[in-house]
Amino acid sequence: MDCPDDSTFVAYTEGALDVAASSAFEAHLDACAACREALAALARVAMPAGADEPGPAGPRLRARGSTCGRYLVLDVRGAGGMGVVYTAYDPELDRRVALKLVRPQAGATNLRERLAREARVLARISHPNVVPIYDVGESDGEVFIAMEFVPGPTLARWQTEAARPWRAILDMYLQAARGLAHAHAAGVVHRDFKPGNALVGPDGRVRVVDFGLAVAPSEASAGEPASLASASLTATGALVGTPAYMAPEQWRGAAVDARSDQYSFCAALWEALAGAPYRLPETTWRGPPAAEPAPAASGGRAFPRWLRQLLLRGLADAPQARLSGMQALIDACERRLHRGRRGTLLAAAGLVVAAALVVLLGGGRSPPPQLCRDDPSLLDGVWDREAARALRQGFAASGLPFAATVAGTAVSALDAWAARWHDERRAACEATRVYGHQTEVELARRTACLDERRAALRERVRLLQTGERDVVEAAVAIAHELPEPATCRDPAALLRDGEGDDDEARRGRAEVDRAAALVQAGRFAVAETDAGAAGAAARVRGWQALAAAAQRVVGEARQGRGAGAEAEEAYYQSLWAAEAARDDRAATRAWTRLAALLADELARPEEARRAVAHARAAYARAGDDPLLGAELELAAALGERSSGDWQAANTRLRAVVAALAQHAPPADPRLLTALRQYGRSFFDLGEHEASAAEYRRALALAEQHLGADHPVVADLANNLGTTLLDQRDVAGAEAELRRALAIDLRVYGPLHLSTAAAFGNLANFEATRGDLARAEQAYRTTLQIYARQPKPHPDAAKVAYNLSSVLINTARPAEAKEQLEWALALQRETLGEDHPDTGAYLTGIGISLTEMGRPAEAIAPLEAAIALFERRPRDARYLGAARNELARALWDSGGDRIRARGLAESAAAIFRAQPEAERLLREVEAWLAAHPLPRG
């Protein structure tokens, strides 16, 4: 038979094996010197010197309704070598408790005195992560401990009942560590920490239990043997501690302290993460079997190298080689968790750390050879010093004022990506050659996947090295959007439908990745063509995962060029392919893109809400990815804003910004996007000071990582300027808006769309402060820039709409009507007949006709505007304005005056609910006062 596990050793020492199992165990001992030595070590601890008499029998089972002291037994919760645990009722305090009955250790004397001493020891431990002890006593010759009743599972069960990401497991164990650290600070050592001795409550809080093994050295009686004084009354049978998690000094029967708990904790956490128990390399002593185990049936998971190194230190053979205490271990973990580095490295520690441990334990013996050594040459010619130098040269040749700053940020991002790639390459090797967690076939597939990631890096570096203006502008996004090496941990995902090992499929994935980089650079037409061709080929071959990726990029390209309806169709095709491939991550990304499109550009908030729900379902299946989750929640916030729920959008965006600040580097474009949206959400709520603060926060990041002259800085300055204008900070607003215009003129020149947008914002500023002549001039300049574009742009319609407002306010309604009719035609051509903005243009036409003295003609466009706003809700002020204008048209044309009054009153109610509509409310109330219905 194979070497028995720890539970078999324990059962044998307690006489719990049946005859056949005991005979088989003894036959194995006859042939296995290692197990004989392990049993001898266990026996030295289980029966210390002077303890010749056997211990008493374990507690008898008590029937439901029986009593133990003042407690009423309800049912049995569990049983083991340590005793029996019941759910019981405490009638004095009217509460349920967990009641443990245990057997005193052999040789224990002065039972009542020691119980009192143990109660004093346990009373020192009061902490949220420790189950409190209510009572310790004796009943019918048995010892009982009453403690808090926690209905949740043990940590051992929690970590195996579902697939848990490493971070979630670490978070739960750190709760237990805090409880142990508090106990150590009170002078109490647990001595039997294991996942079965920690409970997970319904509130998600972990509580450490079974401090009955705890030792407070100062409390030991002077006349008691040290081993008995430290063992306490509740040892598991005769063995102090659980073999799988016992520190080497416990196996030797030596004195223990808080560092022994540290060892047990690290052993438990190692097993939870790696899927197999930790075994120290064989040294001068023989405890448990020393060979590296095969992985557990459930398998292990990758976890970061820094965590592996910390655990290995906590698992050092010599106590003095471990960390100084549990708090030091907690602090080290929290420092690394809070660094917020994107793509935490999930790599095995490898023989580098293991070899160092052997040197420490073995007195300076030479370390074994490294099987999975780093090989920097693997990225030679792809990303190395020469490649970085060429990139910087290409950027400098562009002549763009922000080129040097962006080059530095892009190089840093690519360096970090390369480091992650090397670590994943090493981890892939170690998983097979060192730890045995994967087969050689799986290693080959994982390596092939990493080779594809290297090819993607090569293509992006070549694109960046061209130094072309659009590439330099988008360089940081291009660098950050590289496919992550960590996605190769599941190479089976690349084998869906047999596409993973096919050269043509590899070429197709490379084409799609290049197209995605071109989308970032704004080359939408080329990206759409290339991704579309790759997707078509994938569909012919039945490669659904590749088709899903290709169609998503097609959708992004179409969205980039303003073709929202066409983008929607591409995203749906991506979704159908992702579902066919059972690719939940691809489905999450496609649903997320679709939700953002529906919410922000197509103004269909209810459909956006449903798309978000689909995205969340796919994300729940895809697993833990905080960056993908943040993108999803950003889309959800856009949907909430589109539906008018600005407070919900603001709350959600606060969480999105916090998540990205924790998990993404400061230069990640997604963080800037989230900050911009967060600032806008405060603007929507009328909290302009908070809005300006978030825009300034985003500006500081953009200036640092992109340069003070980058177009993103111009966009943020425009946002800040608009916010300052609403705060009546005219000077500050003008400075930011002119700053934005100056950047766009330097970078793009006078005829670019971005420059047109900057002129348009400056025109809005002039109109707001009342200089209508300068506003009109700026609007007309903006429209001239749009007129020079090769294709009509929908933003030109918005500028014409704003110009019409100036014309109406300067008593030129006929000119205003002409602008609005042109804008309406352009709007329908570019964004479709049913877009909500159409209602604004119809409302403007109605106003113009009323001002021209033709109110009867104004009724039809105003009725159409109201119907559209009621069918496609957006900012309620638009609906209120349309109803108000229709009321005027009806009244002035001699129409239904009762309906006219009702429409105006409805508009007033809408404006009262909108704090920023105060001026509109005053106007409609004045009209109502001046237009009463005749009496009678």
Residue 196 has pLDDT above 90, yes or no: no
Rounded Cα distance, 333 and 340, in Å: 13
On whether both 891 and 789 belong to a single domain, the answer is yes
Q: What is the pLDDT of residue 353?
A: 31
- Structural domain contains residue 56: no
pLDDT band of 91, cuts 50, 70, 90: confident
On whether both 454 and 509 belong to a single domain, the answer is no
Q: Show which of 339, 357, 376 is a domain's final residue.
A: 339
pLDDT digits (tens, 9 = 90+) for 210-249: 765 444 444 443 333 333 233 333 333 334 567 778 888 8
42 burial level (CB within 10 Å; 0-12, 13-18, 19+):
buried
DSSP 130: B
Residue 669 has pLDDT above 80, yes or no: yes
On whether both 761 and 901 belong to a single domain, the answer is yes
pLDDT digits (tens, 9 = 90+) for 762-799: 888 888 888 899 999 989 988 988 888 777 887 888 99
On whether both 351 and 454 belong to a single domain, the answer is yes
- Structural domain contains residue 106: yes
Of 64-73, 304-313, 352-361, 584-593, which gets the smallest average pLDDT? Answer: 352-361
On whether both 193 and 272 belong to a single domain, the answer is yes
Q: What is the pLDDT of residue 611?
A: 94
- State the Cα angle at 105 between 99 and 106, rounded to 5°: 150
Task: Look at 217 and 904; give whichever has higher pLDDT.
Answer: 904
pLDDT band of 899, cuts 50, 70, 90: very high
What contacts 444, CB < 8 A, 6 or more positions away?
none
- Structural domain contains residue 874: yes
On average, the pLDDT of the chain sits at 80
Percent of the chain surpassing pLDDT 70: 80
Q: Show which of 483, 513, 530 is a domain's final residue.
A: 483
Q: Show which of 430, 461, 483 is a domain's final residue.
A: 483
Rounded Cα distance, 717 and 744, in Å: 11
On whether both 178 and 155 belong to a single domain, the answer is yes
- Structural domain contains residue 889: yes
Task: Look at 126 and 656; give whichever has higher pLDDT.
Answer: 656
On whether both 176 and 294 belong to a single domain, the answer is yes
Cβ–Cβ < 8 Å for 71, 80: no
Average pLDDT over residues 346-357: 31
What contacts 834, CB < 8 A, 6 or more positions away?
868, 871, 872
On whether both 504 and 470 belong to a single domain, the answer is no
- Structural domain contains residue 474: yes
Average pLDDT over residues 830-843: 82
Three-state secondary-structure class, residue 922: helix
H/E element, 307: helix 305-314
Residue 331 has pLDDT above 50, yes or no: yes
Q: What is the pLDDT of residue 613?
A: 93
Neighbours of 237 (CB within 10 A): 21
Q: What is the pLDDT of residue 531?
A: 92
- Structural domain contains residue 844: yes
Helices (H), 707-789: 711-726, 730-748, 753-768, 772-787
Query: Which CATH number does the domain housing residue 911 bear?
Result: 1.25.40.10
Evaluate the CA torsion angle 626, 627, 628, 634 in order and state its sign.
Answer: positive
Percent of the chain surpassing pLDDT 90: 37
On whether both 425 and 375 belong to a single domain, the answer is yes
Average pLDDT over residues 831-847: 85
Rounded Cα distance, 675 and 637, in Å: 12
Active site residue 584: no
Q: What is the pLDDT of residue 817?
A: 94
pLDDT band of 297, cuts 50, 70, 90: very low
- Structural domain contains residue 61: no
On whether both 40 and 131 belong to a single domain, the answer is no
pLDDT band of 281, cuts 50, 70, 90: low
pLDDT band of 753, cuts 50, 70, 90: confident
- Structural domain contains residue 833: yes
Query: Which CATH number does the domain housing residue 307 bear?
Result: 1.10.510.10
Largest CA distance in the chain: 114
pLDDT band of 296, cuts 50, 70, 90: very low
**Maximum mean pLDDT: which of 95-104, 239-248, 668-677, 750-759:** 668-677
DSSP 492: G
Number of domains the chain contains: 5
pLDDT digits (tens, 9 = 90+) for 464-508: 999 999 999 999 999 998 988 988 876 545 555 345 566 788 888
On whether both 140 and 249 belong to a single domain, the answer is yes
Identity (one letter) of the amino acid at 419? A
Of 172-181, 232-241, 255-264, which gets the smallest average pLDDT? Answer: 232-241
On whether both 365 and 283 belong to a single domain, the answer is no
- State the Cα angle at 158 between 154 and 161, rounded to 5°: 130
* DSSP sequence for 864-901: HHHHHHHHS---HHHHHHHHHHHHHHHHHTT--HHHHH
pTM of the model: 0.56
Cβ–Cβ < 8 Å for 820, 851: no
Evaluate the CA torsion angle 59, 60, 64, 70 in order and state its sign.
Answer: negative
pLDDT band of 280, cuts 50, 70, 90: low
pLDDT band of 888, cuts 50, 70, 90: very high
| Catalytic choice (6, 90, 192, 530) | 192
pLDDT digits (tens, 9 = 90+) for 52-85: 444 444 456 777 778 888 888 887 776 654 567 8
Return the closest-CA partner of residue 505 out of 549, 462, 461: 549
Q: What is the pLDDT of residue 593?
A: 94
Residue 916 has pLDDT above 80, yes or no: no
Average pLDDT over residues 338-345: 43
* DSSP sequence for 661-729: HHHS-TT-HHHHHHHHHHHHHHHHTT-HHHHHHHHHHHHHHHHHHH-TT-HHHHHHHHHHHHHHHHTT-
pLDDT band of 354, cuts 50, 70, 90: very low
Three-state secondary-structure class, residue 347: coil
- State the Cα angle at 312 between 309 and 317, rounded to 5°: 150
Cβ–Cβ < 8 Å for 566, 572: no
**Maximum mean pLDDT: which of 677-691, 821-835, 849-863:** 849-863
H/E element, 514: helix 503-520
Q: Which domain holds residue 863?
A: 726-930
H/E element, 137: strand 133-139
Rounded Cα distance, 518 and 634, in Å: 23
H/E element, 646: helix 646-663
